[in-house]
Amino acid sequence: MHGVGLGLRRVFLQEFRNFPPTQTDFFELAPENWIHVHGKSRDLLDEIAVQLPMVCHGLSLNLGGQAPLDLQLLNEVRDFLNRYNVLCYSEHLSYSSDDGHLYDLLLIPFTAQAVSHVSDRIKRVQDFLGQQLAVENVSYYCAPGQEMPEIDFLQHVLEAADCSLLLDVNNIYVNSVNQSYSALDFLTQIPTQRIAYGHIAGHRKEQEDLLIDTHGADVVDPVWELLDRAYAVHGVFPTLLERDFNIPALQSLELELQQIQDIQIRHQTKHRKISTRV
C-alpha cells in the first residue's frame, strides 16, 4: 500500500469502476456494508478490486465494549479479507455495542483499566484473524473519568496490543480545537513505526471552539497544513480521503486527491534531495 486512497461509496460505484481517479492508488470500504451484498453492486466491487488494492475500515467490532466479541462477524470479516486479499484491516478505537448495536462510535475512557481491557480485545481479534489490526484515533467531545491524556492512552494501547495505527489527521485537528490542546504536540508524539496509513476528511464548524467530525465537507486549510506537518515528522505514509455525506461528483473529489498527492510528492522530493546531499 502506498500513495493516495479514496473511500469507496455506492453513489459513485459505477463511475469509479469505469473511470477511477488517476491519483487513486488504493480504496477503502467498511466490510459490514458489503459482506451480505450480492447482485450488480457486488459485481462492480469485484471488478474494482481487480483494478486497485483494497483496505477495510470496520464499524462494528466494538473494541472498547463490555459485550463479548461478535465471533460471527469476525468469521465473516475474515472470509471477506481473504477473498479480496485486503492489505490492511482497521477499526475505531471506540465502542459501539452493548446488548445491541448503538449505531454510534463512543469514546473509551482514558484510564489504565480501559487500556488493559481494550488491548486484550484487540489481541484476541488479531489472533482470530491471524493478522495485525490498525486502530484509528477517534474524535470526541467530552472525556468523563479521564485519568490520562488522550495521547498517553493511545500510546499505551498501541504498545500493549502490539497493533498498528490508522492516523486520522482530521480527528487530531478536531480534538485539538474541542479539547484545547496542541495538534502539533499530539502529532509529534505518535510512534512513527506504528502508522499503517492515514485518513483526512472534512468537518463542520459549529462554534469557534466546537468542531463536529462529519466527513461531509471539503478538507479545510488547517487540516491540510497538519497533514503537511505529519509527513515532515513521520515521513510520507499512505493517506486516504474520506467523504461520507454531501458527496459531490467524483470529479470534484479528484481535486482533493490531487492535493494529497502534491503534498506527498513535495516531501518525497525533499527527502531525495537530502539523501543525495548526505
* Domain residue extents for the chain: 4-277
Tally Cβ neighbours within 10 Å of residue 205.
13
Half-sphere exposure in the Cβ direction for 98 (13 Å, CA):
3
Q: What is the pLDDT of residue 133?
A: 98
What is 234-262 written as a DSSP string? H----EEE---SS---HHHHHHHHHHHHH
Q: What is the pLDDT of residue 275?
A: 60
Cα 15 from chain centroid? Answer: 23
Q: What is the pLDDT of residue 162?
A: 98
Domain 4-277 CATH class label: alpha beta
Half-sphere exposure in the Cβ direction for 232 (13 Å, CA):
9
pTM for the structure as a whole: 0.94
Strand partners, 106: 95
CB 80 within 8 A of CB 35: yes
* Angle, vertex CA 157, rays to CA 62 and CA 175, nearest 5: 80
Q: What is the pLDDT of residue 100?
A: 54
Interatomic CA distance for residues 174 and 213, integer angstroms: 7
Half-sphere exposure in the Cβ direction for 214 (13 Å, CA):
16
pLDDT tens, the chain, 278 aa long? 899 999 999 999 999 999 989 999 999 999 999 999 999 999 999 999 999 999 999 999 999 999 999 999 999 999 999 999 999 999 999 987 566 554 567 889 999 999 999 999 999 999 999 999 999 999 999 888 899 999 999 999 999 999 999 999 999 999 999 999 999 999 999 999 999 999 999 999 999 999 999 999 999 999 999 999 999 999 999 999 999 999 998 988 999 999 999 999 999 998 776 665 55
CB 40 within 8 A of CB 75: no
Distances (CA, A) of 146 to 109, 111, 186: 6, 6, 17
| R_g (Cα) of the chain, nearest Å | 18
Q: What is the pLDDT of residue 104?
A: 64
